[in-house]
Structure 1
Amino acid sequence: MFGGFTGFKPPSNQTDFGEQMLNSVLSQSIRHLFTESENVDVSLKCFPSSKLLQGSIDSFKMSGRGLLIRREFWVEEMWFETDAVSIDFGSVLSGKIRLKQAAQAVAKVILTEAGINKAFQSELVKPRMENITESSLMDLSGGEPVAFSDVELKLLPENQIRILAKASLPNGIVPISLTATIGIERRRRILFQNPQFSAEGIPEAQRGVSELLTNAFAQILNNMVDLDRFNLDGVTMRLNRLDTEGDKLIFSGYAEVTHFPRQG
């Protein structure tokens, strides 16, 4: 019955058996959060170990690397550790994990510059940058919808970023460029604060319209990045802080785990 559990080893006693079995089921359940994963490690703490038989766990920790979420969003690293967890131990016997109540966890997520730029090309993000009909843009396009493409983000020190993109107008393509400070609103939205137009690399004849398009694009970005659109099955993330470090964007916060995933 239990031979199919990944990493399962013959138990030395009843509580070792329960711990090994639960570790195996936890690992399989966590892996189902991701479309792909390079590495996922799960461990649990329980003392005395006999509490496992009542479904009580002091905490469990997950660390992963090279994670693909919803088939399109790459996460370089993810780590979280819960507080005390209460589970239905009977569900483990069928190879599943069922929580008796939601679990809270501290969390850390690391994205790379390359992963962020891939996300701008995803089918979830691209439609939000096409057929835009905001009045500030329609005045520039003669009433026609505007689309933004070829977005390239560069991470800079002290939470600064630089973004290059192209805006499609009826009379041609206009390059845009901006710098901004990234911040957090209500622990779930990423804001592009104090956007500044950068004229470097923009043809002089296009700088006036490019600056107007840049300001409008910054507002579109502010309405786009909401963590609730990217939550994992059963896991809600909230942010306390973010930091840029080289080519990495590091988020620290917490997560609420309400149930373990039903599918990858």
Structure 2
Amino acid sequence: MLGGLTGFTDPKDTDWGERMLNRVASQTIRHLFTQSESVEVFVRCYPSSKLLQGSIDSFKMSGRGLVIRKDFAVEEMSFETDAVSIDFSSILSGKLSLKQPTQAVAQVILSETGINQAFQAELVKKRLLNLSEASLTAISGGEPVSFTEVQIKLLPGNRLHLLAKADLNNGELISLSMTLGIGIERRRRVSFKDPKIELEQIPEAQREVSQTLSTVLVEILDKMVDLDRFDLDGVKMRLNRLETEGQRLIFSGYAEIERIPSNS
């Protein structure tokens, strides 16, 4: 949807207002991310005198190699607004402030590698380790159960292949293997559904337990990926669709931009 937003460059006839605004906006947007390979911003304001009233025609951003909250890698992110009202005085002080919230069409691309790295983040691991639900401890003889070594491979048709280990904390590791579908629920949650549990490579004595634990893991994952937990400061993402494409997972939707953080 927004593939054309990557690689913005300022046209040669960009006037002083746009140049100043692009420079300030680029510096400001970089502070949304823990790390960024590149962040490009193109703000259109013609004529530049409209800046004095705080009016700009459009705001586009494209970023690559981004990291959110230290642990969550985003291969690409882009968004574009229509006309926006800004506080002109904030620009003169090297900041960018909105007069009122706005919305932007958005696209986020995650890589298979980045998704797998996210399973090592503390925010994710604490939902997979030392679980003491009765349905799990009944299997492990009263011990907490942990899901480890989670690895996914993206498949065509909005599906993925998932491998994991279940540590029963009694010296026994149970292998898990399945394919499952992914979708969007309520525009903010990634859902995991329709699991096809694979038991052929599981030792026969562990197959029943592996099937039970696989079902539990899918239920945990289905409740885990809520975008409200990963919001940027002042920016909320809402999703309309997702699509697997090779080793990439592509989300399309819109961003609710309440405010843009300062450079401080």
TM-score normalised over the length of structure 1:
0.91
Q: Is the 8 A contact 1:41 1:63 kept in 2?
A: yes
Instruction: Name the counterpart of 2:6.
Output: none
Structure-2 separation of matches of 1:61 and 1:17: 18
Structure-2 separation of matches of 1:206 and 1:24: 60
Q: Secondary structure at the match of 1:36?
A: coil
Q: Is the 8 A contact 1:18 1:53 kept in 2?
A: no
Q: Secondary structure at the match of 1:221?
A: helix
Instruction: Name the counterpart of 1:35.
Output: 34
The percentage of counterpart residues that share the same residue type is 65
Instruction: Name the counterpart of 1:5.
Output: none
Structure-1 separation of matches of 2:114 and 2:263: 23
> Is 1:261 aligned with 2:261?
yes
- Residues 30-86 of structure 1 deviation map (CA, whole Å, 9 limit, x = unaligned): 111111111111001223332122110111100011111111111111110012210
Deviation at 1:260, TM superposition (A): 1.0
What amino acid maps onto 1:199 in structure 2?
A: L
Structure-2 separation of matches of 1:185 and 1:219: 14
Alignment of structure 1 residues 217-236 onto 2, 5 Å: 217-236=217-236
Deviation at 1:263, TM superposition (A): 6.2
Alignment root-mean-square deviation, CA: 1.7
23-32 vs 142-151, which moves further: 142-151
Instruction: Name the counterpart of 2:215.
Output: 215
Q: Secondary structure at the match of 1:71?
A: coil
Provide the aligned length of Structure 1 versus Structure 2: 252
Q: Is the 8 A contact 2:143 2:170 kept in 1?
A: no
What amino acid maps onto 1:77 in structure 2?
A: E
Structure-2 separation of matches of 1:152 and 1:118: 9
Instruction: Name the counterpart of 1:178.
Output: 178
With over 3 angstroms needed to count, the CA separation of the structure-2 counterparts of 1:263 and 1:90, relative to structure 1, is closer
Q: Secondary structure at the match of 1:114?
A: helix
Structure-1 separation of matches of 2:120 and 2:163: 14
Structure-1 separation of matches of 2:263 and 2:168: 42
Q: Is the 8 A contact 2:95 2:262 kept in 1?
A: no
Structure-2 separation of matches of 1:194 and 1:118: 24
Q: Secondary structure at the match of 1:124?
A: helix
Instruction: Name the counterpart of 1:82.
Output: 81
Q: Is the 8 A contact 1:117 1:152 kept in 2?
A: yes
Structure-1 separation of matches of 2:169 and 2:48: 68
What amino acid maps onto 2:20 in structure 1?
A: M
Instruction: Name the counterpart of 1:129.
Output: 128
Instruction: Name the counterpart of 1:251.
Output: 251
Q: Is the 8 A contact 2:18 2:44 kept in 1?
A: no
Alignment of structure 1 residues 1-264 onto 2, 5 Å: 16-172=15-171, 173-262=173-262
Q: Which aligned segments of 4 or more residues in structure 1 are displaced greater than 6 angstroms?
A: none
Show structure 2 runs of 5+ residues with no match: 1-12
Deviation at 1:143, TM superposition (A): 2.2
Q: Is the 8 A contact 1:91 1:98 kept in 2?
A: yes
Q: Is the 8 A contact 1:161 1:182 kept in 2?
A: yes
What amino acid maps onto 2:52 in structure 1?
A: L
What amino acid maps onto 1:87 in structure 2?
A: I
Q: Is the 8 A contact 1:168 1:174 kept in 2?
A: yes
Structure-2 separation of matches of 1:170 and 1:131: 9
